[in-house]
Amino acid sequence: MKVTTADEKYMKLAEEVLYQELGIVLDIPKDQVLDYLFEKIEKRA
């Protein structure tokens, strides 16, 4: 399956919305969400 520029655009948009929503729920800035999730996953491993 070929990934198009439009696919990449909408994937990035979906990631931004997801990080915003998770940031609100977790009460952290959206740019810290990914690091927070990786930290939590590493602690469980």
Element (H, E) at 24: helix 5-26
Kindly report the number of other CB atoms within 10 A of residue 12's CB atom: 10
Q: What is the spatial distance between Cα 5 and Cα 27, in angstroms, rounded to a whole number?
A: 32
- pTM: predicted TM-score of the whole model, two decimal places: 0.79
Would you state the pLDDT for residue 3?
87
Taking only the tens place, the pLDDT of each residue in 3-32 is 899 999 999 999 999 999 999 999 999 999
Q: Can you give the residue ranges of every domain in the chain?
A: 5-44
Q: What is the spatial distance between Cα 45 and Cα 41, in angstroms, rounded to a whole number?
A: 7
Q: Judge contact between 30 and 23, C-beta under 8 A.
A: yes
* Band of pLDDT at residue 45, cut at 50, 70 and 90: confident
Q: What is the spatial distance between Cα 5 and Cα 11, in angstroms, rounded to a whole number?
A: 10
